[in-house]
Structure 1
Amino acid sequence: MACGGGTQTRNGGGSQTRTTPSQKTSTDDPTSTDTILFSVLDNTHISHDKARNPYFLAHSDHPGVCLVPKILTGGENYSSWKRSMMISLLAKNKVKFVNGKLPQPDPGDDDYDAWFQCNSMVISWILHVVSTEIANSIMYLDDVVAIWSELHDWFHQNNGPRVFEVKCSMQVLTQGCNNVQTYFTRLKALWDLVK
């Protein structure tokens, strides 16, 4: 720990630099800003900072959690399933694991084990909200980015036959005995699949 300068560095398994407004730098620069670097092995953060750390897992986060009520069964519900999953992953600060913005660290990195733990947790969450057939086809992929990409390639609406199928469904959709709101909701869901 460096004393007197206003910048503290801790090396307890990973480094953290934290400068707070109440601490003056050695140059007493009033324009200095807060800098916080997270490390998985640093336990000195307050709980707000922990929740912003992508490696943070709450006590309620376990492999058996079903993040969304929808089960992915195929292209017909992929868009709504993906949207629900993204909202849940954003809430748990794990989107960086599926979009590739938090790549696998080198084996010697302090965060290597934590990355694998979180990657495996997200894979488990996905396996619990897809059909058995889909789960069997992605079970042996080790990287959640690869799983997310596979699901997108298989079920995204931009494949020709799926777009044709949805457009046919839109043409034959009628209000029938449904109220206008129900009819509009169904029509909008189909429209969202093709845009």
Structure 2
Amino acid sequence: MARGEGVQTRSSSETSNQFSALDPGGRSFSDDARNPYFLSNSDYPGASLVPKILTGCENYSSWRRAMTVALIARNKLRFVNGKLLAPDEDDDDFELWNRCKSTVISWILHAVSNEIAESIMYMESATTIWTNLEERFNQKNDPRVFEAIKTKQSLAQGSSSVTNYFTRLKSLWDLIQEYRPQPACTCGAMKIIQEYHDED
């Protein structure tokens, strides 16, 4: 058999155009890392992106944070926050967009409990799923805030190391901050309040 005979290869133009998509601003992607349509070998639909699945309001905050970090690392956050809109169906990039959207939906389905997965299974858009979960589980939880403040006030180092004590304390601070975020401010007062918080 002659060298290369019977082996299917892609032409150079076909390879170079595999990820030739443009971003919403019309700029071409110079490398895969900047291309939201790029999927590496580890970005398969059944991949587990976060260590713990979403079970409800009690762990939504930490789950959302972990999922956001994972999606940013894979350059796929725009598929859930609505900033990367679907191209027209006759657009050359539509199939790439649709494949990535379906992959992101699969990641979300594998990162939630079976009960939650059943309720979002037939939603066509990753953005719709993300927004639906936000509306259902990111609720004000005054009892959790009360318990966190109460626990923080009574927390003592005891026999724990400084590192373990601070880790526990910071997790309580972060939980309170998540449910009671600081309002936007341009007068500079919030910066002072944040400095007081950091000192505490």
Normalised TM-score (structure 1): 0.70
The one-letter code of the counterpart of 1:181 is F
Percent identical residues: 46
Residue matched to 2:192? none
- Cα displacement (A) at 1:114: 0.9
Contact 2:36 2:75 in 1 (8 A): yes
Residue-by-residue CA offset, 1:31-69 (whole Å, 9 max, x unaligned): xxxx9514xxxxxx5xxx122111001111101100111
Map 1:109-124 to 2 at 5 A.
Answer: 109-124=91-106
Letter in 1 for 2:178: L
Matched, 1:193 2:171: no
Which structure shows the bigger proportion of residues in helix conformation?
A: 2
Measured at CA, do residues 147 and 182 of structure 1 come closer, stay the same or move farther in structure 2, by a change above 3 Å? same
2:28 matches 1:37: yes
Shift of 1:193: 3.0
Task: Report if the CA contact (8 A) 1:166-1:193 is conserved.
Answer: no
| In structure 1, distance between residues paired with 2:105 and 2:159 | 39
Residue of 34, 56, 59 corresponding to 1:77? 59
Specify the SS of the correspondent of 2:176. helix
Instruction: Output the TM-score relative to the length of structure 2.
Output: 0.68
Show CA shifts across 1:125-181 (max 9, x none): 111111111111111101000000001101114x3xx2x221331254243767432
Does residue 170 (structure 1) correspond to residue 148 (structure 2)? The answer is yes
User: What is the distance in 2 between the residues matched to 1:65 and 1:53?
Assistant: 20
Please give the alpha-carbon distance, in whole angstroms, between the structure 1 residues aligned to 2:103 and 2:122.
14
Task: State the AA in 2 paired with 1:109.
Answer: D
Runs of 4+ deviating beyond 3 Å = 10-17, 176-180
Q: Comparing both structures, which one devotes a greater share of its residues to strand? A: 1
Gaps of 5+ in 1: 1-9, 18-34, 39-44
Q: CA RMSD in A?
A: 2.8
Counterpart of 1:52 in structure 2 is: 34
Count, aligned residues: 156
One-letter code of the match for 2:37?
Y
